[in-house]
Structure 1
Amino acid sequence: MITAVSELFKYYSSFVDTELLKAYVVGSRSVARDPMTHIEAAVQWICRAQDAFEGGGVARSYSMIYQPYFKRRGWFAPYPETTGYIIPTLIDYARMVSSQELIDRALRMADWECRVQMPSGAVQGGMIDQASSPAIFNTGQVIFGWIRAFKETGTQKYLDSAIRAGEFLVLEQDTDGAWRKSLSNFTDGTSMTSYTYNTRTAWALLELAMVTGSEAFKGAAVRNVEYALGEQTENGWFRSNCLTQPEHPLTHTIAYCIRGIMEIGSLLKNESFLASAGMAADAVLARQRPDGSLAGRYNRHWEPAVSWRCLTGEAQMAGIWGRLYQLTGRPGYLEGMRKANAGLRRVQFMRTDQPGLYGGISGSAPIHGMYGRFEILNWAVKFFLDAQMLELSLMKKGDSRLESNDIGGFASVN
């Protein structure tokens, strides 16, 4: 494992752009600043990612190296899945700073999602320039964006697209609540037949049910959580919870699974769901290091399975702990969120003027870790923003515990 900066530079300078590597070495270790400065920089990165291509979608990532699998470097094509759930994040920030320009940006994202929606109502897997195949998880994530665009504008086309997507999800669901069909071509060749992290898809369906009154959407959401809880072990860990290594799931997909169960439990006031989500969240919190970081993967005993960090997952867990603090008032959750957020601010690219890096969050730390290797991922930036804005909201509001599900602010950002 390469650890020293000098070793990193020597090894990777043969195939990484030297200037970008210098920018990484200098720019990825931030001096502590106030959270709003970091939030503003991350929003600027999202805007540049959107502007990298025409149409309104957000570039999937920025890669410092040529990626043989994707056959490219630099800005990667727009990604429907993550553009979808970036929409609520950008609107939340726009409302915070009273920016109509940013709301318009978010609505351009939603318009683009309407245009690229598949005839079946599904959202395709992968980037927009890759072969199109329906993807259950991706479809659920874009529903969040359409719902938020509809609530923001009242424009019916957004709700219509969300309903079509929801109907597709209900149609494809098996009777036990799992989704085993339409998992996209990117799951071909894996041993997996279903994924427990689709609870985040179920959460989207329940949000859609709250808007439409559809019992079909609500029932499908509950069935999926019940299926997922059947995959939870006694210590809170979930089986079948990773695309490629279910025996060592990413912190990223662990957080997806927890968040879906937690939010559905909150919306339905289901204490059993909340307890199951809390058990898993507590297990991860117990593994948080003094600097706020987590391992990128955990085995069934909650033991670290890799030495590198998955920064996306850390940001997601920060958001989960912040939400659990709001729901329970337990100070340990607030402390966990703040430690994680502070650690993430320290690795945000702030000391560089390179447009693909400034304000970004890499997939892994160190950046040559095996998740989003040498990439700034748009979803890492999205979840970083969510967690930082939630902390800022809590700081401004004091305790900010919930008395109902009408929580407002950044508490329920998707």
Structure 2
Amino acid sequence: MMLTYFAAESVRDFFRIKFPGQKTSERLTDDRHHLEAAVAFITRSIEQGKGSASSKGYKVGKGWLPPYRETTGYIIPTLLDLADHLKRPDLALTAERLGERLSELQEPSGGFVERDLWPDSKPVVFNTGQILHGFNALILRRERKDLIPYARRAGDFLVSSADETGSFVRNEHYDMVHSYNVRSAWALLTLGRLLGETKYENVALANADWTVSQQVDNGFFLNNVFQPGWNANTHGIAYVLQGLIEIHCISGRASYLSAVRRAAERIVSVYDTKHCMASEIGENWEFLARHLCLTGCAQLAIVFFRLYGLEGDKRFLNVGLNLLDDVAATQNVMSPAKPYYGGIKGSFPIYGRYAPLQYPNWATKFFIDALLAKQRALTGPTGRSTQLSAS
């Protein structure tokens, strides 16, 4: 049976937002409006956490959700980027408060448990890795050396969770391996370079190697679903690609960039044909859902902007721009009095299977990251890799 999907153009036309054909200056002006609305949503989510945590998001009919430790962790680098970009030192101070609070919540093992949202009984690799991103950013960019012991304990927890192949086989969601944990390996490699600890670097690179081994010839990554029986999601696919491309940029290993390029080439082909990326994807890159995962679209845009910056291939830039436009077209920028003003929905339509009826804080975080990555990309490809990254 043929399924009907939302074409990218129909999303933009529905919301009557101009995208194609605009001059760069006009596009950046629009971006500033979207950015400021998104920042308003993120700061409002932090207000719900009394200034020291970010609410998981806003749910229609329920209101603001409890704080989410994992995403609070990786919102920290975004706040630091915004503090620089918008000349708002208050956002950097907020980032520091988030890091301080997370340090108080660390388990003796070094991991983190999501006690605010659900009664998890154990810390897990992915959540710990995302909080480590926050610690790394504060240590590197705010000289918060007092957070080094907490970062080190998180790093030790990640090392203890890996086997000899580099796969994180312990302390996993649903006791199953996940290729998307390479985003935690990125944090671990950053920590290793920061502290000069080869044990962190070795496990991180081994995990990146294991992740590449999960890629099949058509660019798809196996073992990359959130729960048993689920389909792969663009959110998880983008986690893999961003983790690998950033580990490449730190380590210089070409195999990681090649793996990202292989998947990106296939995504370009799919997007050029379908004019969108459905939320759920099969092993042959077929669409398995009728809705978009807006988080995944924003994340993929970040990856494509990064690829363009490294390689100068305008196909990557164009797909990145279109994916970001798809997300921007769904943002509420007209109703400042609404609690979800500036937020990004989990799914489009909002009742889709991914975070239904929600405006998750991480969707808006990645939208902000993508807007900033777009501006960097439009300055032109650099052809250079960064040696250390903490976002």
- What is aligned with 2:56? 60
Answer yes or no: is the 8 Å Cα contact 1:77–1:129 preserved in 2.
no
> In the TM superposition, what is the alpha-carbon distance from 1:413 to its structure 2 partner?
6.5
- What is aligned with 1:41? 37
- What is aligned with 1:197? 180
Q: Supply the AA of the counterpart residue of 2:143.
A: G
Q: Find the aligned partners of 1:109 and 1:292 in 2 and give their Cα distance.
A: 38
CA change 1:404–1:200 in 2 (3 A) is closer
Q: Supply the AA of the counterpart residue of 2:106.
A: Q
Secondary structure of the 1:82 match is: helix
Task: State whether structure 2 residue 99 is matched by structure 1 residue 118.
Answer: no
Q: Find the aligned partners of 1:405 and 1:43 in 2 and give their Cα distance.
A: 26
- What is aligned with 2:22? none
Answer yes or no: is the 8 Å Cα contact 2:136–2:390 preserved in 1.
no
Q: Find the aligned partners of 1:291 and 1:351 in 2 and give their Cα distance.
A: 29
Q: Find the aligned partners of 1:276 and 1:154 in 2 and give their Cα distance.
A: 34
Q: Find the aligned partners of 2:187 and 2:384 in 1 and give their Cα distance.
A: 22
CA change 1:59–1:376 in 2 (3 A) is same
- What is aligned with 2:365? 382
Q: Find the aligned partners of 1:401 and 1:291 in 2 and give their Cα distance.
A: 30
Unpaired runs of 5+ residues, structure 2, are 5-13, 19-28
> In the TM superposition, what is the alpha-carbon distance from 1:382 to its structure 2 partner?
0.7
Answer yes or no: is the 8 Å Cα contact 1:29–1:349 preserved in 2.
no
Q: Find the aligned partners of 1:81 and 1:133 in 2 and give their Cα distance.
A: 14
Answer yes or no: is the 8 Å Cα contact 1:35–1:392 preserved in 2.
no
Secondary structure of the 1:134 match is: coil
**Superposition CA RMSD, Å:** 2.0
Q: Which moved more, 1:353-362 or 1:244-253?
A: 244-253
Superposition map of 1:12-161 within 5 A: 29=15, 31-32=17-18, 34-54=30-50, 56-65=52-61, 73-125=62-114, 127=116, 130-161=119-150
Q: Supply the AA of the counterpart residue of 1:57.
A: A
- What is aligned with 1:341? 324
Answer yes or no: is the 8 Å Cα contact 1:140–1:205 preserved in 2.
yes
- What is aligned with 2:163? 174
Answer yes or no: is the 8 Å Cα contact 1:291–1:339 preserved in 2.
no
Encode CA deviations 1:311-361: one digit per residue, 9 max, x unaligned. Answer: 000000000000001111111111111111112111111122344310000
Answer yes or no: is the 8 Å Cα contact 1:291–1:343 preserved in 2.
no
Q: Find the aligned partners of 1:129 and 1:115 in 2 and give their Cα distance.
A: 19
- What is aligned with 2:222? 239
Q: Which moved more, 1:175-184 or 1:95-104?
A: 175-184
Q: Find the aligned partners of 1:229 and 1:47 in 2 and give their Cα distance.
A: 37
CA change 1:372–1:287 in 2 (3 A) is same
Answer yes or no: is the 8 Å Cα contact 2:249–2:385 preserved in 1.
no
Task: State whether structure 2 residue 386 is matched by structure 1 residue 405.
Answer: yes
- What is aligned with 2:305? 322
Secondary structure of the 2:281 match is: coil
Answer yes or no: is the 8 Å Cα contact 1:322–1:333 preserved in 2.
yes
**If the length of structure 1 is used for normalisation, what is the TM-score?**
0.85
Q: Find the aligned partners of 1:368 and 1:174 in 2 and give their Cα distance.
A: 39
Unpaired runs of 5+ residues, structure 1, are 4-27, 66-72
Q: Supply the AA of the counterpart residue of 1:133.
A: K
Secondary structure of the 1:62 match is: strand
Encode CA deviations 1:220-256: one digit per residue, 9 max, x unaligned. Answer: 0111112122221111111110112566200000111
Q: Supply the AA of the counterpart residue of 1:150.
A: I
Secondary structure of the 2:320 match is: helix
Identity of aligned residues (%): 32
Q: Supply the AA of the counterpart residue of 2:237.
A: I
